[in-house]
Amino acid sequence: MNFGQAIEALKAGKKVARAGWNGKGMFVYMVHGTLVDKDRLRNEAYTHLKDCDSCGDHTGVVTINSHIDMKAADGSIVVGWLASQTDMLAEDWVNV
């Protein structure tokens, strides 16, 4: 697949990877956005937003936008993965 087709697959709930990636078990997936009460945020997000009057709507709800994450070769998760120009121009995207 090309990158556009890979994006469409992500939007359809599939995991995709580059055939050319040399890390075993690497793939990317889409995380759909959600609404979260500001008081239910965790870690640094809570620390930085708890006293922010302009963060979220008038009810204290914060929008977490949809984004693409990557499962890396070492088993870690890369939050907010960004495609390189090489990734965007590649034609070797596959469904996982």
pLDDT, tens digit, 9 for 90 and up, residues 43-92: 998 898 888 877 777 788 899 999 999 999 999 999 999 999 999 999 99
Residue 24 has pLDDT above 90, yes or no: no
Domain range for 80 is 3-95
Q: What pLDDT, on a 0 to 100 scale, did the predictor assign at position 19?
A: 95
Q: What pLDDT, on a 0 to 100 scale, did the predictor assign at position 82?
A: 97
pTM of the model: 0.86
Interatomic CA distance for residues 70 and 92, integer angstroms: 17
Domains held by the chain: number: 1
Interatomic CA distance for residues 12 and 62, integer angstroms: 25
